[in-house]
Chains A and B, each alone.
Chain A
């Protein structure tokens, strides 16, 4: 096995520098130095020319034909297959998530149902009345009467009996009674007048006339 040149230090240095100057990765100083050396060294010049030819030959496309498009398609198919193989695990994981959500919704629905049934069991009628709700209906000819607080029960009953009245509701929070004529044919207005004239009656008015 032989080297092509003399073993002078400069020729060895030139030998070392040739590949890197050819691939343009050498420093500018290194390239300049080699250029100067080649100008007066025929042996290194011949070697450099051969090195350049070697680089050209090595940079030729390979003569082994490999179809890039077909190869890429094979690679994509391989990736598809790998993702397809991995997907059942994702689906299973997704199923667990979906099942968990459905279970949570069902538990919430059951809870709401139980609470609703419990509230319904407290009674259909609320213990309160809103301002927009109508008062309990009263019959025609009803009269609102507020007797004096000092009126005895005997006197109150006597008034009712004398005027043919009966209590249909009350007393409410302010002591008012709702009374109605026992005989519907009698005159309500006349009964109101008689009540107002009766001692111990503080207020008497027909309910129908209330705005």
Chain B
């Protein structure tokens, strides 16, 4: 955990303390702080905006109610992402939905300084993510998108570190074989679990 992560976690802990005292401004600050990463994280499970909003609100509703119970055994972000993961799976179960595949990306994109580059990158990524299972997409998101460690991801997903390592390994192998290589000749080997 680098200094920026430590500062962010300290700030999050202060927000949780204020939330435990009923401070709604702190809740609003935390909400906006996590909204982007939760949206992206949950979009690996479902493409439905209404479900994503519902899961985010379920997640932060629990954070609001349980803020006083947070003991600091993990980073606040790990705690919140774990809640979001469980809420996401629960929401999908209640709807009888399977985690949707990445096959319905809308045409309108988020504004960007380089929209063409972003679109190209998204298309490239979507081809790879299509080949992954939901659990593999979640692991890739948490490691590459959010920047969590293996231990954090294990806490979030409620499984052993070895399981996370295996999911990450298989996901990387699939992505490497599906995505076009940027440079050089790829030498292919049979996949094997580390």
Listed in ascending order, the chain A residues whose CB lies under 8 Å from chain B are 1-7, 12, 15-16, 19-20, 22-25, 42-43, 45-47, 49-51, 53-68, 70-72, 74-76, 78-79
Interface of A is mostly: helix
Q: A2-B191, A74-B57, A79-B61 are in contact. List 5 more A-B contacts (CB 8 A).
A: A19-B143, A61-B36, A61-B110, A71-B57, A78-B57
- The smallest beta-carbon distance between A145 and chain B, in angstroms, is 88
- The smallest beta-carbon distance between A48 and chain B, in angstroms, is 10
Contact between chains at B61 and A75 (CB < 8 Å):
yes
Which one of B53, B141, B147, B179 lies within 8 Å of A74 (CB-CB)?
A: B53
Name the B residues within 8 Å of A75 (CB-CB): 27, 31, 57, 60-61, 64
Cβ of B72 under 8 Å from chain A = no
Contact between chains at A71 and B56 (CB < 8 Å):
yes
Name the A residues within 8 Å of B177 (CB-CB): 1-2, 4
- Taking each of B147, B175, B177, which has the highest tally of chain A beta carbons within 10 Å of its own beta carbon? B147
Name the B residues within 8 Å of A7 (CB-CB): 189
Interface of B is mostly: helix
Name the A residues within 8 Å of B186 (CB-CB): 2, 4, 43, 46
Q: Please report the C-alpha to C-alpha distance between residue A183 and residue B174 in the assembled complex, in whole angstroms.
A: 141
- Taking each of A12, A64, A67, A75, which has the highest tally of chain B beta carbons within 10 Å of its own beta carbon? A64
- The smallest beta-carbon distance between A90 and chain B, in angstroms, is 14
Q: Per-position contact with A for B149-171: 1 when CB-CB < 8 Å, else 0?
A: 10000000000000000001000
Which one of B53, B147, B172, B189 lies within 8 Å of A25 (CB-CB)?
A: B147
Contact between chains at A66 and B56 (CB < 8 Å):
yes
Cβ of B8 under 8 Å from chain A = no
Cβ of B96 under 8 Å from chain A = no
Which one of B53, B109, B184 lies within 8 Å of A42 (CB-CB)?
A: B184
Binds A, one of B10-18, B39-47, B75-83, B87-95: B39-47
How many B residues touch A, CB cutoff 8 Å?
62
Contact between chains at B145 and A59 (CB < 8 Å):
yes
Contact between chains at B173 and A3 (CB < 8 Å):
yes
User: Nearest chain-A residue to B5 (Cβ)?
Assistant: A25
Contact between chains at B144 and A54 (CB < 8 Å):
yes
- The smallest beta-carbon distance between A41 and chain B, in angstroms, is 10
User: Nearest chain-B residue to A20 (Cβ)?
Assistant: B149
Contact between chains at A50 and B182 (CB < 8 Å):
yes
Contact between chains at B184 and A57 (CB < 8 Å):
no
- The smallest beta-carbon distance between B102 and chain A, in angstroms, is 10
User: Nearest chain-A residue to B168 (Cβ)?
Assistant: A19
Name the A residues within 8 Å of B1 (CB-CB): 25
Q: Please report the C-alpha to C-alpha distance between residue A22 and residue B124 in the assembled complex, in whole angstroms.
A: 19
Which one of A16, A49, A68, A79 lies within 8 Å of B35 (CB-CB)?
A: A68
Name the A residues within 8 Å of B48 (CB-CB): 64
Contact between chains at B191 and A23 (CB < 8 Å):
no
Q: Please report the C-alpha to C-alpha distance between residue A16 and residue B128 in the assembled complex, in whole angstroms.
A: 20
User: Nearest chain-B residue to A16 (Cβ)?
Assistant: B194
Which one of A53, A58, A62, A65 lies within 8 Å of B140 (CB-CB)?
A: A58
> Given the known A-B contacts A55-B144, A64-B47, A71-B57, are A1 and B174 also in contact in the complex, defined by CB atoms under 8 Å?
yes
- The smallest beta-carbon distance between A30 and chain B, in angstroms, is 13
